[in-house]
Every structure is written in C-alpha cells, then in structure tokens.
Structure 1
Amino acid sequence: MSTNAPHFGNGSVIASRAAFTHTGSPRPARPGQLDQGLAENIAGGVDPEQLSEVSHATAWALLSHVHTTEDPAVVARTLTLVDHEGVDVIAELWSHAEPDSLPGVLWRLYLLRTWMRRQRDAIARLWRLGEPIATSASAIAGVDAAPTEEDIARTADSILAGAFRGDFAVALERASTFVDVVVLGLRVEAKRMTARASAMADVDSPVVGTTEEIHTLRGQAARLLHTAANLQTTAKDLRAGAHLWRRGQLE
C-alpha cells in the first residue's frame, strides 16, 4: 500500500467533539445548505452552551425534514452538504458534538462519506484485504467481496441516504460494519509491512533492504495501526448510536 494511506484525525473519523450553530430558527432555512446568518455566527464565535443546544435542534430539524419531504432536490442537497459547504464549515457546526448524540453521529456519517469518496481506490483495496470472501459483513454493508472504486462511492452515498430516507439505525450499522472491514484491511496491510521489515532485518533472509527502508516500513505499519485504532473507535460510536436510536435515547 502506498504511503498515501487513508488517514483520520484524533481518536476517530471525526476531528474531535464539536457542535452545530444556528441563527435562532428551529430549522435551517434551506435544508442541505447553511444560511448566511449561520455562517456569520460561526465566524464570530458562539457561546458553547448555545452551540450545544443548537447542534441538537438543527440535527433533528434536518433529519426530520428530509424524512418528510417529497422534494428530491432537498434530499440531494442534504446528502451532499459537505460538498457544497465544505468540511471545515460543517466541522464548526457538528464536530465537537458528543459521539452518543445525533449531531455527533451525523458528523461521523458525513465525514465517513467524504473519506470513502475521496479515498475510494485505497478503500476498495483495504476492503479486499479485510473481506477476501463475502461474509455477513458484505451483506450488512452492502459491498461485494471485490468492490471497485465506483462501488465504494455508491456505498458511501447509499449509507448516508439510508440514514435520512430509511431506517437510521440500519444505516449506522451498515456504516460501522463497513468501517470494521476496513480496519481489518489496515491490520492485514500493517502485518505484511512488519513481516517484510523483519525479513529485511534478518541477515539470513534472501530479502535485502537498507536500514532506512526497514525503518520506513515499520513507520508505515505503525501509522496504519494507529489509523485502524481510530477507525475502530468510530465503528463503536456508530454501533452505539444505532443502539441508542432504537431505544429512543439518541438526542
């Protein structure tokens, strides 16, 4: 695997725990887009307690509105929210929300979609490493044992669409299962790198490598394992969100 391996931020797919901001209305004026007043509030800074309140209110308003609308344009804008507004703006709104909250879960879903689409080639390869034959994980996530880049992109859209238009808990379980398989792929790749580095370091091995090459391989393997650990946290957050949603406790 190249050194351009998929990478995540601190502790999870998310950058950390953030919140949603708003202008005072119970729902966004244009679902799937942020109004100008909201953007200005973000830039000017908002009280953390107010941010937390608005984070939850806006997440619920967005989710409920898309569930009830019959306008396909509204649905399309909501699913591509990050594409239109940018990850940084969305991060200001939701990324500090607790992982066991609706805005926290939605942030993870949006960022997961963005990552899957941007790193579709690497992720397709990681999936093939983590799921070499179709198992229950393939069925749950809705991915073949040997997905193409396009399959990964379609799955990313399908998971997020399912959260807004289908069973929210099922969408979270699909996302968590998908991440679980990618984690396995990262660990397989890291193990291969470590084994190669060890072979290079063995004086009796036919595999020859310089000290720098051995150090580089071990460093890459360590970074992959770190990414895998972060992703595992995200998978657990998504799975816990599904459990809370079914119990009516995801707020």
Structure 2
Amino acid sequence: MTRKAYSFVRTFAAGPTRDFCVDRHYLLCASAGALRLEAQGRAWLLPPARAALIEAGRAIQVSVPRPVTTASVLFDTGFAPPPPAPLTVFDLSPLARSLVAECGTWGDSDQPLTAYAETLFAALAAVTWRLAEQPSPVVVPVGRSPELRRALRLTEERLDREVRFEDLAQEVGLAPRSLARRFSDETGMTWRAALRRMRLLRAIEELAAGDTPVTKIAFMVGYTSLSAFNAAFQELTGRTPTDYRASFRP
C-alpha cells in the first residue's frame, strides 16, 4: 500500500525537453534553478519559491535549462480534490513553504501516514489549492505551427542583441504580415510583446541562477537602460528584480 501523500527532494541536471505524467496530483516546487513546463499550447517558467500544481494524469513537457533542485509532493486522487486547473504556476506563501518543508519528512513508503502527517498533507493541499487560484504571470509564449515555434526559438537565441522582425520572417519563410498574424492568433500577443516577455523570463532565470548583478542581467537580456528594465520587470511581476530575487530565499 502506497501512502496517500508523500514528498521527496531531487536535483536534476540540465537536459532536453521530456514528457512527464503521473497518476497523482503533483505539487512541484523549485528551490534552486528554474524549470520550464509546457502543456496544451502554453508554457510556464518555474523559478524558486514558486510551485506548479499538476492534475493527475495530465501529460506535460518539462525542460531543465540549468541544474535545478526541486521538492515534490504527490497526492492520491482520493486524498485531495482535482486542482483548480490542469496546470498552474503560482507563488508560494511562507505558510505553504513551511508546510512543504515539514512534509518532506514523509517519503514514499508502504507504511501508512501518521494522523499528524495526514493533517499536515491535508493542510498543504488546502493552502496550495487556494494559492493556485491566483496564477503567476511568468507564462512563456508558445506557438502551434512549426513556423511560429521556429520564430520563437530564433528570437530566444538572440535576446542579448538586436533582433529584427523582418529577418525572422525571412528565415522562417513567411511574409512579415503573415508572421505577425501567426503571433496574434497563436500567442495572443505581438512579436514585440513576446520579445519583451521572453527577455524578462530569461532575466528571471538569471536571477535564479546565482548572484549576477541586476545591471549585468539587464544588458545580458537585451536592455540598454537599467531603468527601462526595472520598469518592465516590475510591470510583469509586481516586484523589482532585487525584490524578486530576494523572494527566492527563505
């Protein structure tokens, strides 16, 4: 008999995208590094102090741009209700982070949970299910067509320098107007907005990776003005880059 809920911590090396699906509701928390998760034509960045709640049986794709350490909690479908959405990324509250740490004592085992452990896991489910109702804005633009996915990939490869939309259109074999229409139809945003979002998400990855100065990160992701970078970052996340990095730590 497997426990109704259990937890484990694991470190993953950088690696390519792989498929992921489990038969339990899955709470995935990044504690160092960042993951990318993709499902149903949408993708999310999962930096530290954030969590992803994945519905049981839901197939997603996971990529690890850099080494990452995660804390995972799995809930039997008879123990916890279906999550608010098939896949949601959200900020962990101090209470949720404490509960994740406390539940780490109970790994997978044939021994049943104690009454105390069941209470802890039930409290963690109640808190994180509620937090999942307020998703994080760190959503990555994703396309459906091969041309748009290639255009996004090329854009991501050139975030540290000037990128010309006309050059991208030519490289993917579409007229600029046609590519612009693909961006609108498949991502719900313009290419310029997608470029901005991708630069900020790359900045979040850099903030999670270490202690590189914020000014250097701003230039690394294509900004020539620190004030413009700070304003764009705060508009997306509601925090300054320095405050966002501080939130990664307990």
**Which structure features the higher share of strand residues?**
2
**Which structure features the higher share of helix residues?**
1
Give your verdict on TM over 0.5: no
| Bigger relative CO (Cα 8 Å, ≥ 6 apart) | 1
